[in-house]
Structure 1
Amino acid sequence: GKTAIIRQWLFNDFHIQYHETHMATYHFTALYNGDRLFHIRIIDTPRFEENDPDPQNEWVKLYCFRRCSLFLMVFDINREETFSYIKHLYREIVRVRNNLSRSSIEDDTLTTTVPIIIVANKADLINLDQRYSNVTLTNSREI
């Protein structure tokens, strides 16, 4: 999912074989927009698990949550639980950026500017006899 999108954008390359991301991978590139040059650092992270025993993963997560200028969150359009996961992740990012405790994570009054792009992935794999995916516009507004 995420890694395939990054590889396609950076290298115009797509691997049909899936390989799970086990550790953060860093990519650096530059992008011209008009007369401006942007230096881009992409951190491709594995799924962040609650209570991960690896301190390196926790450090990467907190570093990304605090320092990233933009978040690209990808979910599998055929698996609603992946959308629920990015909703949870978004709330966690807001919590970390506001320096709040975990008990405040579900507070809908939290506000902060978090630039985010949400990508519905694997639309090409939707079963042809389905009328719609498992993630609807209604539940996408919940984020």
Structure 2
Amino acid sequence: MILGVGTDLANIERIKGTLARFGDRFRNRVFTEVEQRKAEARADVAGTYAKRWAAKEACSKALGTGLRMGIAWRDMSVRNMASGQPQMELTGWAADRLAQMTPPGHHAIVHVSLTDDHPWAQAFVVIEAVPLPSGGPGGVGASGKAAS
């Protein structure tokens, strides 16, 4: 069952301007160290940050809160699998909110898709609740990934 859906469209040039104006203050407030390392290693630094910004906005919408109610930017992080596929990792208040949304007997999976076509970056997040196997362990981990 679908628990939440969120999408966001970010302007890469706006993020580029914010990075130029506020630098590390902006980076450190919004992005985790892993996200910063990923972005700074890419040819399109601003585009990489813009996609992650959009993912955080989309995730907060899928959680049903937007960026209020105690959620912090760094409570939502984009990591990439070895294949390059992005994954949302939730910690802190975002992970707590995900656990509250997840019905008993289910575990939550947070799906994320990112794309960009200059000057736009877009993210789409779907939070899905999947029934636990009968008698098996499970629940929602702090990462927002299914526990096994």
TM-score normalised to structure 2 length:
0.25
Q: TM-score, normalised by structure 1?
A: 0.26
* Structure of higher RCO (CA pairs closer than 8 Å, 6+ residues apart): 2
